[in-house]
Amino acid sequence: MIICRDERDALVREFDNKCSGDLDIGIVTDHMMLAAREKGIGSVMVGLFDPRIIRKEFNLPDYIQPTAILILGYPKKEFADADRHLTQRKLMSETVMMEKYTE
């Protein structure tokens, strides 16, 4: 599934011209992934692709930006155990900074 945004109706912040489209696409795609999983369908979001190829192969106009690809399918085996995160997850102190950035 190709997830696209229409640049003709972009929401852009005035102070830095940042378009919220990529963030919005991420949120929408994440919700589709959650809905798919609820129905037993696996998914993966791909963001590293050449949009020019997608635009050409699917005859998309210039103002339609392919932003993500969502691959859907049924798993060959069962889904991975959700409890794996209890032992494989990084400590919060390794990924979250409080009040200031530190390395």
Q: Encode the chain (103 residues) as per-residue pLDDT tens digits.
A: 999 999 998 888 889 988 888 889 999 999 999 999 999 999 999 999 999 999 999 999 999 999 999 999 998 888 888 787 777 778 888 888 888 887 7
Q: Please tell me the predicted confidence (pLDDT) of residue 67.
A: 94
Q: Please tell me the predicted confidence (pLDDT) of residue 54.
A: 96
Residue 3 near residue 68 (C-beta atoms within 8 A) = yes
| Residue 98 maps to a domain | no
| Residue 71 maps to a domain | yes
| Residue 23 maps to a domain | yes
β-pair type (2-6, 64-73): antiparallel
Q: What is the distance between the alpha carbons of residues 36 and 75, in angstroms, rounded to a whole number?
A: 12
Q: Please tell me the predicted confidence (pLDDT) of residue 48.
A: 95
| Residue 12 maps to a domain | yes
Q: What pTM value is reported for the model?
A: 0.76
Range of the domain at 39: 2-76
Q: Which residues of 9-42 are buried (b: 16+ CB within 10 A; e: fewer)?
A: eeeeeeeeeeeebeeebeeebeebbeebeeeeee
CATH of the domain at 22: 3.40.109.10
How many structural domains compose the chain?
Answer: 1
| Residue 94 maps to a domain | no
